[in-house]
């Protein structure tokens, strides 16, 4: 396995569904398997999640593309597809509303160092309800 690390300068304990260690700074490790699973198909007419407004490419390597995304209060994305498994690490918190392709909605509040996994093939739209969340999106390549 190959590991990708992200360090956070923080005095708060880390909260994560992904392997995480805490010292004077927090670190989140993403384990990438040598043989990736097959990606589920997604609608070809649905735009890709990236690149998009508010997203800056921070890193592009053979195994991962990292997007630094800031979403101001009231901002919204159109319906889009995540064509790769994606790990999202929040740098700044906020409340967002996700609308799935079938129209169902869910509102979630994320804090600093929260981690979310988005499986390949996920199609949704996002709007910021409050705050100005900033997150690093790790698009895991095949």
pTM over 0.85: no
**39 pLDDT above the threshold of 60:** no
Return the CATH number at 105: 2.60.120.10
Please name which of 75, 94, 78, 89 lies closest in space to residue 132, comparing C-alpha atoms: 94
Domain residues for 93?
Answer: 49-140
- 18 found inside a domain: no
Under 8 Å between Cβ of 5 and 27? yes
* CA 114, chain centre distance (Å): 10
How far is it, in rounded angstroms, from Cα 5 to Cα 69?
18
For the chain, the average pLDDT equals: 81
Q: Count of domains in the chain?
A: 1
pLDDT digits (tens, 9 = 90+) for 66-92: 999 999 999 999 999 999 999 999 999
- 37 found inside a domain: no
**110 pLDDT above the threshold of 80:** yes
Q: What are the angstrom distances between the C-alpha of 71 and each of 53, 60, 91? A: 9, 21, 12
Please name which of 140, 129, 137 lies closest in space to residue 69, comparing C-alpha atoms: 137
- 43 found inside a domain: no
- 24 found inside a domain: no
pLDDT classification of 29: cutoffs 50, 70, 90? confident
- 76 found inside a domain: yes
Residues sharing a CB contact under 8 Å with residue 104, sequence separation 6 or more, in sequence order: none
For residues 44 and 60, the model is more confident at 60
- 101 found inside a domain: yes
**6 pLDDT above the threshold of 90:** no
> Tokens 């991962």 belong to which residue?
64
pLDDT classification of 49: cutoffs 50, 70, 90? very high
- 21 found inside a domain: no
DSSP states of 102-116? TS-EEEEEE-TT-EE
The token duo for 108 is 């979630």
- 13 found inside a domain: no
Ramachandran region of residue 140, left (φ > 0), alpha (ψ -120 to 50) or beta?
beta
């Amino acid at each position: 396995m190959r590991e990708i690390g992200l360090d956070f300068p923080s005095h708060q304990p880390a909260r994560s569904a992904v392997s995480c260690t805490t010292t004077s700074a927090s670190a989140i490790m993403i384990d990438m398997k040598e043989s990736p699973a097959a990606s589920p198909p997604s609608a070809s007419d649905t735009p890709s999640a990236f690149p998009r407004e508010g997203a800056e490419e921070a890193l592009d390597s053979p195994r991962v593309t990292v997007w630094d995304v800031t979403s101001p209060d009231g901002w919204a994305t159109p319906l889009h597809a995540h064509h790769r498994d994606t790990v999202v690490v929040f740098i700044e918190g906020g409340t967002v509303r996700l609308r799935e392709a079938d129209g169902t909605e869910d509102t979630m509040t994320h804090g600093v160092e929260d981690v979310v996994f988005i499986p390949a093939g996920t199609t949704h739209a996002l709007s910021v309800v409050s705050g100005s969340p900033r997150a690093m999106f790790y698009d895991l390549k095949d």
